[in-house]
Amino acid sequence: MIPVNLVLVVWVWMGRIVFGVGGWFLFIFMISLVPLLLLALSVTTVLAFTQHTRPRALTTLQAWAQLFTWLTLFLFGAFCPDFGDAPDSEISLLTQVFGWSQDLLDLSYSLMVGLGAAATVAYLVLLGLLVFARPPAPALT
């Protein structure tokens, strides 16, 4: 989990550079999204590693939630458009591959929002599955 989590945080932050897309979101994500992702993925990693099952493994539902979280984060990082200070500097993976058009840019923003929402839901499902799978703490008497 740890290596994939770290790679995906870097991918969400600056993976668009692979496709020639770089702009202000590199800075904006560095101070907003990257710390949030590091904290959130650290929480689920700690919860997964401290489960009481032996050998330590995710349940089937937890594994699917983890995979869906990773997939949506990967796609978010790929399709996130970016912008800069120059005119006509809004670009995305779709506009780099298929040529610039406002429709593709709008689609990129729609995909970014949808994938961000899907990643959030998948993460919350994973967090819930990890929290509720824990046995109750023993009562202090």
Whether 138 is in a domain gets the answer: no
Strand partners, 91: 82
Whether 39 is in a domain gets the answer: yes
50: containing domain: 2-132
Position 52 scores a pLDDT of 81
Strand partners, 82: 91
Whether 140 is in a domain gets the answer: no
Position 141 scores a pLDDT of 67
Whether 139 is in a domain gets the answer: no
User: Total structural domains in the chain?
Assistant: 1
Any residues with CB less than 8 A from the CB of 66 and at least 6 apart, and which?
1, 44, 48, 58, 126
With contact defined as beta carbons under 8 Å apart, do 133 and 60 qualify? no
Pairwise CA distance, residues 85 & 17, whole Å: 17
With contact defined as beta carbons under 8 Å apart, do 122 and 69 qualify? yes
With contact defined as beta carbons under 8 Å apart, do 4 and 41 qualify? no
Per-residue pLDDT of the chain (141 residues; tens, 9 = 90+): 999 999 999 999 998 888 887 889 999 999 999 999 999 999 999 999 988 877 778 999 999 999 999 999 999 999 999 888 876 778 888 888 898 888 999 999 999 999 999 999 999 999 999 999 877 767 776
Whether 29 is in a domain gets the answer: yes
Any residues with CB less than 8 A from the CB of 81 and at least 6 apart, and which?
21, 90, 91, 92, 95, 105, 108, 109, 112
Whether 73 is in a domain gets the answer: yes
Whether 71 is in a domain gets the answer: yes
Q: Which pTM was predicted? A: 0.90
Whether 137 is in a domain gets the answer: no
